[in-house]
C-alpha cells in the first residue's frame, strides 16, 4: 500500500494534536488538583474558626449562667422573707387586711402604667355635630 504524502502529513498533524490535547488535559488535571487541595485547606481553616467561635460562645454562655446563678443565690440570701411569701398558696385578703394595706395598694396601682387609670372618672367625649344625610335621596340618584 502506498503512503501518500498528504496522508502522512495528516497523520503527523493528528498525532501532534493528540499530544497537545494530552498535555493540556494533564495541565488542567494538575490545576484542578491544586485548586482542590487549596479549597480543602480553606474549608479546614473555616471549620476550625467556626469551632473556635462555638467554643468561645459556649464558654461565654456558661460564665453568664454561673453569674446569673451567683446573683440569684445572693438575692435569695438577702431576701428570705420574699421567697417565703412566694412559696405560700394564694389567698384573698380579708376586709381588715385591705383596710390596713390600702395605702400600699393605692401606691402599687398608681405605679402601674395601666392600672393607674382605674377609678378615674370617665372623660366626656364631645361629638361633632354631623350632617344629616337622607339615604333615600342618595339611592334615587
Q: Give pTM, 2 decimals.
A: 0.41
Question: Distance between CA 118 and CA 108 in Å, rounded?
Answer: 12
Centroid of chain to Cα 6: 74
Please indicate, yes or no, if residue 129 is contained in any of the structural domains.
no
Is the pLDDT at 85 greater than 80? The verdict is: no
Q: Does a structural domain hold residue 14?
A: yes
Looking at the predicted structure, is the pLDDT value of residue 114 above 90?
no
% residues pLDDT > 70 (the chain): 74
91 is a domain residue: no
Phi, psi of 110 (to 5 degrees): -70, -25
For residue 136, tell me if it sits in a domain: no
Query: Which run of H or E residues covers position 75?
Result: helix 5-78
- Determine, yes or no, domain membership for 61: yes
Domain contains 127: no
**Domain count along the chain:** 1
Amino acid at each position: 500500500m502506498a503512503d501518500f504524502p498528504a496522508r502522512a502529513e495528516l497523520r503527523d498533524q493528528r498525532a501532534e494534536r493528540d499530544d497537545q490535547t494530552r498535555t493540556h488535559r494533564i495541565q488542567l488535571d494538575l490545576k484542578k488538583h491544586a485548586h482542590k487541595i487549596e479549597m480543602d485547606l480553606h474549608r479546614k481553616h473555616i471549620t476550625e474558626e467556626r469551632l473556635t467561635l462555638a467554643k468561645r460562645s459556649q464558654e461565654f454562655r456558661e460564665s453568664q449562667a454561673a453569674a446569673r446563678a451567683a446573683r440569684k443565690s445572693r438575692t435569695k440570701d438577702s431576701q428570705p422573707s420574699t421567697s417565703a411569701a412566694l412559696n405560700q398558696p394564694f389567698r384573698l385578703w380579708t376586709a381588715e387586711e385591705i383596710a390596713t394595706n390600702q395605702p400600699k395598694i393605692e401606691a402599687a396601682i398608681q405605679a402601674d402604667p395601666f392600672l393607674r387609670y382605674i377609678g378615674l372618672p370617665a372623660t366626656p367625649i364631645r361629638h361633632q355635630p354631623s350632617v344629616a344625610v337622607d339615604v333615600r335621596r342618595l339611592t334615587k340618584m
